[in-house]
Amino acid sequence: MARAKIALIGAGQIGGTLALLTGLKELGDIVLFDVVEGVPQGKSLDIAEASPVLGFDATYAGTNSYEAIAGADVIIVTAGVPRKPGMSRSDLLDINLKVMQQVGEGIKQYAPDAFVICITNPLDAMVWALQKASGLPTNKVVGMAGVLDSARFRYFLADEFKVSVEDVTAFVLGGHGDDMVPLVRYSGVAGIPLPDLVEMGWTTQAKVDAIVERTRKGGGEIVNLLKTGSAFYAPAASAIEMATSYLRDKRRLLPAAAYLSGEYGLSDLYLGVPVIIGANGVEKIVEIALDANEQAMLDKSVASVKELVAECQKIAPGL
């Protein structure tokens, strides 16, 4: 069977890491696109030259032309500018909205059957704009944030409990902002919920609260350390997990920014919710019961996502 074709739009820090991971996982052949000349070509060649050593088969093509993405099965979008220290995710909105319009046009023309994963920030607004600009069905366009936010939560919990990261599950809901909603009740170790672990004396409520706070600010923590950009290894790994679930029809239940049409009482909005990703893209949006406190946190997060989308509509009324 022919290999799948994976197009990566944006050949920056995340795009380059995605290109390497796609090869290492043998998900398919890679087209790396960027507006900057030479960078996608250089990174592609560099990774292709690593393939004999690392032992994987994949073809790599670096390009500055959308034609090269024709017929792609999966497209992962990181095009745009990343957050610099002192910049909020919404500061990025203006620049990245224009980028999403261009990318959406390219996808509409050359790869309308692809499953599209958007990573560009501010995530929930950019994935909304990308879906509108591309005109692809809403089940084929998702945003990556929840897998990353949950991975951070899982890592911090595993570190606190001194157990394998593999046994820690965690759930984060809502927009990809500082008011995301880490769901303590639905997180735990090997099926034991976090509140029970507090009762069992494994940790304290204060420590759990601190971990929740660190998770919420996880993106900023890395930005402040790197100073010249934002996180890229964990974001790339997270998008690869989503792409794998689609390509292999694994039906993983993952948190992702999905298009809501009535779920959680919301419509025409992308928001981080649990979804099942399979061969048809978003196969199901899972509606979990929230208590009053969780609902209040979600409402706050929804309000900030709505604000960003309203800003997009003001800048680009055609969307």
Residues annotated as catalytic are: 176
Euclidean distance between CA atoms 108 and 96, whole angstroms: 18
Q: From CA 271, how far away is CA 175, in angstroms rounded?
A: 6
- Closer of 75 and 183 to ligand TXD (Cβ): 75
Query: What's the chain's length in residues?
Result: 319
Rg (CA), the chain: 19
- Give the span between the Cα atoms of 192 and 185, in whole angstroms: 10
Q: How far is the CB of 286 from ligand TXD (least distance, A)?
A: 20
Residues facing residue 36 across a β-bridge? none
29: DSSP letter: E
* Shorter beta-carbon distance to ligand TXD: residue 58 or 99: 99
User: Hey, what are 305's tokens?
Assistant: 């996502």
What is the number of the residue whose Cβ is closest to ligand TXD?
12
| Residue number with CB closer to ligand TXD (188 or 272) | 272
Q: Which residues bind ligand TXD (CB under 6 A)?
A: 9-15, 34-36, 78-83, 96, 99, 102-103, 119-121, 123, 144-145, 148, 176, 229-232, 235
Q: How far is the CB of 222 from ligand TXD (least distance, A)?
A: 8
CB of 103 to ligand TXD, least distance (A): 6
Minimum Å gap between C-beta 224 and ligand TXD is: 14
Separation of alpha carbons 166 and 238, rounded Å: 15
C-beta of 22 vs 230, nearer to ligand TXD: 230
